[in-house]
Amino acid sequence: MCYRIYAMSKIDLQVNFRMPADLKARLEAVAKENHRSLTAEIVARLEESLIPRTMDAIEAARPAELERELTDLSVQSYHLTYELSIIQKQIVQAETDEERFRLIRQADELSARIAEVEVLRMKKMQQVAMLKRNAAQP
């Protein structure tokens, strides 16, 4: 999945629609994990759903778009890693075993999320390299 940092502006259209309450709650939780607003999360997911899925379509995609997605993943990885470092410091300073175990669980979840983002980032890097190779061939 592509993760971007969006800045909504007055130029962007406002769209009002209904959605189930449980879906909204799930989107809000994921948006918080991704350090985005609910709107930015919805936009990112909609854009991701429109990304070409076949190799031919990937090769035809614009390299600039892939580069931007790669940058977005790098930024997300940085934020998650920073958040993990804060939790690791809190683990050392935890006063009770209960607090320490809670923080360790959070750190484990963040580590797994970082690994997911890094896998996506590596895949995106491969796509960029493939596009550059194909563009260089006559």
> What CA–CA distance (Å, rounded) separates 89 from 34?
21
CA–CA separation, 59 and 135 (whole Å): 9
Same domain for 69 and 132?
A: yes
- Flag whether 25 is in a domain: yes
Same domain for 11 and 77, yes or no, is no
In single-letter form, the type of residue at position 26 comes to R
46 and 74 belong to one structural domain = no
Q: For residue 5, what pLDDT is reported? A: 46
In the predicted model, residues of the chain with pLDDT beneath 70 are 1-10, 52-62, 135-136, 138
Look at residue 126 in the predicted model and tell me its pLDDT.
Answer: 86
Predicted structure pTM score: 0.53
Q: Do residues 46 and 66 share a domain?
A: no
11 belongs to a structural domain: yes
**Residue ranges making up the domain that contains 72:** 62-136
Q: By the 8 A CB rule, do 69 and 75 touch?
A: no
**What is the C-alpha to C-alpha distance for residues 134 and 119, in angstroms, rounded to an integer?**
23
Q: Who contacts 35 (Cβ-Cβ below 8 Å, separation ≥6)?
A: 5, 76, 79
Whether residue 57 is contained in a domain is answered as no
* Residue 16, domain member (yes or no): yes
Number of separate domains in the chain:
2
CATH number at residue 89: 1.20.58
Whether residues 4 and 40 share a domain: the answer is yes
